[in-house]
Structure 1
């Protein structure tokens, strides 16, 4: 099959960071296995990429947009209050700086694109759907297919969590509808293909563009890092439910609700909880769990491999985030054979099926705590069922959510936009696994 020549635009692509930069890097490197890829990224990623052995000018180009990016990043940090807060504020200010980055991309690669040096131009990051891509219209005029995404975001704050929204300094999220009138949005959405990372992202795209939308969650797993046998033998754990939480300790992650929900099991010695991560609410959580003694362990920040070592000794990932776009940590835990317990809202709930885990219905705080308690009690009482769901979770990741598979899924999109296939790809329906929405069928047992 023809190897397409692809210019991958990933402003955030860094092998030494996490979250969006790691997604950008991982997808770009995976695509290099199925296409002739040249990566264009921001100068801040240059040194980390060089340390991987890639050759600057041959494999990648790092563009310096710091003249505008740096002061706006400082301003966004000031306005958002730091400590990972104010995500919407950061994205809003990035809408000012990012077009300058694409201006530099066109300045450096516009002639090559127009002269047919690339079969496809693909913007991988930013993942935010509000970031416009001026290059999309220029590629269209040049007759070169432009692929956008995966894009993700735009998840409304759930009702009943206004206090958490205030603590996260997310007041600007109330005005997210204004993104629909941003200059350049229409031209960006006229991309030849739009990869949408969630069904919420799909719903935010106008109907006239839906024929070019393809559902493809942005996260995946490197099996060399996460494919290992976890210790799930209930006999060795004395029948105690071992659960873990992995992530930033901020209000929206809901760890306080998790501790409250698990308290009866923890106090009775039927459950142990490992909390991996750091953040501004850590002292509050430690105080909340103080009376529970060693049944709740706070590990702080850990390197990826250390996180894996702790999680591999658990049977359940308890991830009660109330507003999550993607949920990469859920896939990583599933790859280790853990059974996920998530909130049935946005990204993580789309990754978990009834066969692979439990999704707690969204509601107000007391309803979520009650739902989590029901799910955890069920897990403690049904260790064999949990074990089977963990095994099914690993199989699901292997079938759909490896970076190798992700690259093949995107390659199908390249073939479609280049005219080599007539049917629109459906990458999330393969190997008898189906990620299409099933309503709220992942409910916990009652």
Structure 2
């Protein structure tokens, strides 16, 4: 055919792995799948946000892309704002990555989102404005790589970032028409604000959260969800995906750790009071004020020290709240990764009472050091912490969380041996499931599932 799609247009279902395996109209797609099982897969990675010098989503995008480069032949497509960081990291433009300049739309819309959120960069507002700019990024990606995709130069196209399920992928339908499997995710988000924390939601300027569900009506959602594999980064996200797509959904949390960056060991059994650290932004949803209130009796008695690593617009009121405890609460401000682990490793607990956390990468980082985590039983962190590796405090409004934290911290202070055992179990869990090397192996298994006949569906986390 003139558009380069060959016979794929005659057999619309060929991009689905099971249909490729069984259809009489195998054509080009089946031939590609047969060849793919005998060599390293060629993967085009869409990582609009990927940057080794930043944190959060860009660091996830970068880390997963680099890990996948060890197990497959990948080419990363990212946004132009990440270009210099890629070059500083030693990647070669044109060979290892391509930078797409979508700033004509992305730049002004980011500024608009920042303005609407009062300069806080509110997550929901920024995702809302990105629903306009991200499709333009994929439009430019297809303009550059569409001919290569149609020609079969890639076995898989995989969108790593954005992580938000709100962002639709117009390129998914184009890959399907070209007979090239498309992988979406891990996607994560959509965690409702918990009851009893309306004041925090207002202070975070998350007013759009109340109407977030409207994204399900966005154009392109149906075709995006027809991806050959959808990686759900949380159970909440998995539940939001219509059941008719669940045969192609795999639960896979997006976060992992680099053992080279988190190689210290927590100090258990040493002299002095027990130490607990918090790592993150000092903003209302992180709950640091609740942590200080819960720890107050232990701080007054000198039985606990809190190490607060991070900064934000709550720094001043938190310092005032902690003033009576003197050196019992230490504020470190922002620290480089190496310094963070040095501070955390002299602690025994991670106290992380965030009330609305999608992923919880910092929880895995602390667990990798051997800290026992105490988290709120809600959303991302609660999925990462098991009964064997830490504790989850019920989320029953501010008073309930403070009381639950107070009781758990007091118990931990009185049972240091049990804290050490949980910390060791936490470290072992991260090493087994949550390194970037392990994550790449998990994703590679998913790639092979969608291109290899009769391979069973992967399930890296089973029924956890």
TM-score in terms of structure 2 length? 0.91
* Structure 1 Cα separation of the partners of residues 77 and 236 of structure 2: 28
Residue of structure 2 equivalent to 1:237: 271
Asked if 1:25 corresponds to 2:59, the answer is: no
Asked if 1:47 corresponds to 2:80, the answer is: no
Residue of structure 2 equivalent to 1:6: 43
Asked if 1:418 corresponds to 2:454, the answer is: no
Alignment of 1:379-390 (within 5 A): 379-390=412-423
- Three-state SS of the structure 1 residue aligned to 2:261 is helix
1:86-105 superposed Cα distances (whole Å, 9 cap, x missing partner): 21011000000000000010
* Structure 2 Cα separation of the partners of residues 186 and 347 of structure 1: 26
TM-score in terms of structure 1 length? 0.95
* Conserved 8 A contact 1:83-1:279: no
* Conserved 8 A contact 1:220-1:402: yes
Asked if 1:130 corresponds to 2:163, the answer is: no
Residue of structure 2 equivalent to 1:440: none
1:234-289 superposed Cα distances (whole Å, 9 cap, x missing partner): xx332x11000000000000000000000000000000000000001110100001
- Three-state SS of the structure 2 residue aligned to 1:33 is coil
Residue of structure 2 equivalent to 1:76: 113
For residue 114 of structure 1, the aligned residue among 128, 144, 150 is 150
RMSD: 0.8
For residue 217 of structure 1, the aligned residue among 231, 253, 256 is 253
Greater Rg, structure 1 or structure 2? 2
The alpha-carbon deviation at position 421 of structure 1 amounts to 4.5
* Structure 2 Cα separation of the partners of residues 28 and 135 of structure 1: 19
For residue 233 of structure 2, the aligned residue among 197, 208, 211 is 197
* Structure 2 Cα separation of the partners of residues 218 and 390 of structure 1: 22
* Structure 2 Cα separation of the partners of residues 325 and 317 of structure 1: 18
For residue 228 of structure 1, the aligned residue among 261, 264, 273 is 264
For residue 367 of structure 1, the aligned residue among 384, 388, 400 is 400
The alpha-carbon deviation at position 423 of structure 1 amounts to 1.2
Asked if 1:105 corresponds to 2:138, the answer is: no
* Structure 2 Cα separation of the partners of residues 89 and 253 of structure 1: 18
- Three-state SS of the structure 2 residue aligned to 1:56 is coil
Q: Name stretches of at least 5 consecutive residues in structure 1 with no aligned partner.
A: 430-435, 438-446
Residue of structure 1 equivalent to 2:17: none
* Conserved 8 A contact 1:83-1:280: no
Asked if 1:16 corresponds to 2:16, the answer is: no
Asked if 1:90 corresponds to 2:126, the answer is: yes
* Structure 2 Cα separation of the partners of residues 145 and 419 of structure 1: 11
1:199-254 superposed Cα distances (whole Å, 9 cap, x missing partner): 00001101111111000000000001102222222xx332x110000000000000
- Three-state SS of the structure 1 residue aligned to 2:403 is helix
1:408-439 superposed Cα distances (whole Å, 9 cap, x missing partner): 0000000011124531100124xxxxxx34xx
* Conserved 8 A contact 1:315-1:338: yes
- Three-state SS of the structure 2 residue aligned to 1:6 is strand
Asked if 1:178 corresponds to 2:214, the answer is: yes
- Matched length: 427
- Three-state SS of the structure 2 residue aligned to 1:306 is helix
Asked if 1:289 corresponds to 2:322, the answer is: yes
* Structure 2 Cα separation of the partners of residues 33 and 363 of structure 1: 44
Alignment of 1:152-191 (within 5 A): 152-191=188-227
The alpha-carbon deviation at position 53 of structure 1 amounts to 0.9
The alpha-carbon deviation at position 177 of structure 1 amounts to 1.2
* Structure 1 Cα separation of the partners of residues 46 and 293 of structure 2: 44
Alignment of 1:320-331 (within 5 A): 320-331=353-364
- Three-state SS of the structure 2 residue aligned to 1:221 is coil
Q: Name stretches of at least 5 consecutive residues in structure 2 with no aligned partner.
A: 1-37
* Conserved 8 A contact 2:48-2:78: yes
* Conserved 8 A contact 2:264-2:341: no
* Structure 2 Cα separation of the partners of residues 219 and 420 of structure 1: 29
